Structure 1
Amino acid sequence: MNSAPKLVVPPKLVVTDMDGTLLGRDGLVSARNAAALRRAQEAGAKVLIATGRPVWWLDPVRQAGFAGTAVCMNGAMVYHVGDGEVLAASPLSAETLNAFTEAFTAEVPGAAIAVERLGTEQIDSWSEAHYDHPWDEGSFEVQARSELLAQPAIKMLVRYGNDSSALAAVAAGLGVPGVSITYSTDAGLIEVMAGGVNKGVTVARLAQEWGIDPADAVAFGDMPNDIEMLQWAGRSYAMEGAHTQALAAATDQAGRHDEDGVAQVLERWF
């Protein structure tokens, strides 16, 4: 657990990850979690979704009635769900995509890559033919590697084997400038964003724009791509069963994601 000062009054900002945190086993926001977020908003708190998902994969929170701001693609895009508007984006340049891919595949020749671009309502995901996405919801159009790397992307996905931490260690050791590496599954997938981009940085920037101090924020997450966000918030909860790195980054532990762990915490205030 981190040693950040603990929030003792109702938060002014509630920020939550989706998969493994807000969503249940059915991939949906439960009625109890949705009601807790709604009460927080009605009480005047800002509610912010912070996910690794692209903007076209936000249906679970839309269906739960959420129409506010979402930090998507691990902080690389800020999107207003209700308005359907991209508020900010931090793309990887084609030059950086090529440099990273060349360096990484020299170390891991069998790796497959995919990219997510600037689409909003329309799916804008592209992959090599041998890329195997670990989640059923993902939908990718096939392109040759040269085409994938020919234009900027918001996020790159790299798949190989079944050990994400090992892939992340390889990527970190390459020394390629202008990239940020994380992962949200242990199934042999890393996620590559522009340098300095992560959920925590983007959430902090939004909070500053809204005049909210980290001491007045509560955050929920479960995987390494949540670490910076959990460390930033004055009070933060890793879900029961979360990755050990997320547990170490958080000030507290919440219940299981499939037992309304987010609502269990928020109901103490709202």
Structure 2
Amino acid sequence: MTHINVLDPGASPLDYYGFELRRHREAAELTQKQLGDIVNYTGSLVGQIETARKLPTQEFSERVDAALGTGGLLSRLVALVMRSQLPAWFQQVAELEARAVEICTFQTYAIHGLLQTESYARAVLGALDQNDLTDRTAVRLARQRIFEKGEPPVMWMALSEAALHQAIGDAETMRGQLTHLLSFDGNPRINIQILPFSAGAHAGLQGSYTLFRFTSDPDIVYTEGYGTGHPTANPDTVKDCSLRYDHLQAAALSLRDSAELIRRVMEERYGEQRDADGDPVA
């Protein structure tokens, strides 16, 4: 008899997801292979997800929900699963992102995770650690689903011009990332302002930070170190960082001028190089 791994649904969100997937599949009297054929995935992948050895994706969850008629159960669970896979010290921050009505962030040398593309996120996360890179990248990108809510947060990102020049990944990765930033032009809920080199000394010289604002809860400031995060609702800290952010926005370019600078850096620094015949150079 084939040994069937019995999951404890209370062990973790991933285990609970696998338990529910198996329960609904068996209720439909389908084998793993049969379900896989229906949703265009392998039966092996279905088995790995059922036994909590593989992370489910949003697409997988939506297809299985439709195939098994679960009423969107797995699609709702996948967000919890992804959040549980974040480093323990960052899980509270992901919850703040999910609850906030406004997110104001100043970033020095890298794009904020909520606005990263897949290839840019892979380059950032893989700088020193290639282990489980695909899963870790998927977990980071899953945080961006907060913008798909009925009432998504308003996000303001003041970004140092240095981040546009810091080549993370190859030129194609940077072109894709800057194109992604430009795609928000005209979106009133995602606003990007570039703090140009010409601003000189500015209110953010102490480093990157993020302000979270809520409907009724106190504002929270989040700063980050190596492998640690520091959220605080201390009124003095919040007041100081709010004032600093006001000054950063005042020193930054307008939304329109910021988009023009992003476009110019993208074309001049990361534009495709072509040979004498006009063909792209690999």
TM bin, normalised by shorter chain, reads under 0.3
Structure having the higher Rg: 2
Q: Which has the higher helix share?
A: 2
TM-score normalised to the size of structure 2? 0.27
Q: Which has the higher contact order (CA 8 A, sep 6+)?
A: 1
